Amino acid sequence: MIIVMSRDVTEEQIGVVVKKLQDAGLDANISRGVERTVIGAIGDERKLTEEMFTPLPGVESAMHIVKQYKIVSRESHPQNTVIDISGIPLGGNQIQIIAGPCSVETQQQMDLSAQYVSEAGCRLMRGGAFKPRTSPYTFQGKGVEGLDMFRQAAKKFKLPIVTELMDVRMLDTFLENDVDVIQIGTRNMQNFDLLKEVGRINKPVILKRGMSATISEWLMAAEYIAAGGNHNIIFCERGIRTFETYYRNVLDVTAIPVMKKETHLPVIVDPSHAGGKAWMVAALSQAAIAAGADGLLVEMHPNPSEAWCDADQALTPQELKKLMGVLTGIAAAIGRTL
Question: Which positions from 88 through 127 interact with a copy of itself, judged by CB under 8 A?
Answer: none
Considering only 14, 52, 159, 179, the residue that binds a copy of itself (CB under 8 A) is 52
Tell me the window of 92-100, 142-150, 173-181, 210-218 that interacts with a copy of itself (CB under 8 A): 210-218
Smaller CB separation from a copy of itself, 151 or 273: 273
- State how far Cα 81 lies from the chain centre: 15
144 binds a copy of itself (CB under 8 A): no
Compute CA distances 88 → 62, 94, 100, 229, 306, whole Å.
Answer: 45, 10, 17, 22, 31
Contact (CB, 8 A) for 219 and 263: yes
166 binds a copy of itself (CB under 8 A): yes
Give the shortest CB-291-to-a copy of itself separation in angstroms.
4
Contact (CB, 8 A) for 197 and 171: yes
Considering only 98, 198, 284, 315, the residue that binds a copy of itself (CB under 8 A) is 284
* Residue among 149, 161, 147, 150 nearest 88 (CA): 161
Smaller CB separation from a copy of itself, 153 or 213: 213
By rule CB under 8 A, what count of residues binds a copy of itself? 105
Q: Which amino acid is at 175?
A: L
Give the shortest CB-227-to-a copy of itself separation in angstroms.
4
- The secondary structure of 254-306, three-state, reads CHHHHHHHHECCCEEECHHHHHCCHHHHHHHHHHHHHCCCCEEEEEECCCHHH
Q: Which amino acid is at 269?
A: V
Give the shortest CB-261-to-a copy of itself separation in angstroms.
8
Give the shortest CB-86-to-a copy of itself separation in angstroms.
27
Task: Say what the alpha-carbon torsion angle 73, 206, 90, 174 is, to the nearest 10 degrees.
Answer: 130
Work out whether strand 37-42 and strand 27-32 pair parallel, antiparallel, or are unpaired: antiparallel
317 binds a copy of itself (CB under 8 A): no
Q: Which residues 216-275 are close enough to bind a copy of itself by CB under 8 A?
A: 216-217, 220, 223-224, 227, 239-247, 250-254, 256-258, 261, 274-275
Smaller CB separation from a copy of itself, 47 or 158: 47
10 binds a copy of itself (CB under 8 A): no
Interior CA angle at 91 toward 85 and 96, to 5°?
70
Considering only 97, 129, 236, 289, the residue that binds a copy of itself (CB under 8 A) is 289
Smaller CB separation from a copy of itself, 159 or 225: 225
Q: CB-based contacts of 149: which residues, under 8 Å, 6+ apart? A: 104, 106, 107, 110, 142
283 binds a copy of itself (CB under 8 A): yes
Give the shortest CB-154-to-a copy of itself separation in angstroms.
25
Contact (CB, 8 A) for 336 and 95: yes
318 binds a copy of itself (CB under 8 A): no
Q: Which amino acid is at 156?
A: K
Give the shortest CB-119-to-a copy of itself separation in angstroms.
21
Considering only 311, 321, 322, 336, the residue that binds a copy of itself (CB under 8 A) is 311
Q: Residue 77: exposed, middle, or buried by beta-carbon count in 10 A (0-12, 13-18, 19+)?
A: middle
Smaller CB separation from a copy of itself, 159 or 207: 207
Separation CA 328–CA 180 (nearest Å): 25
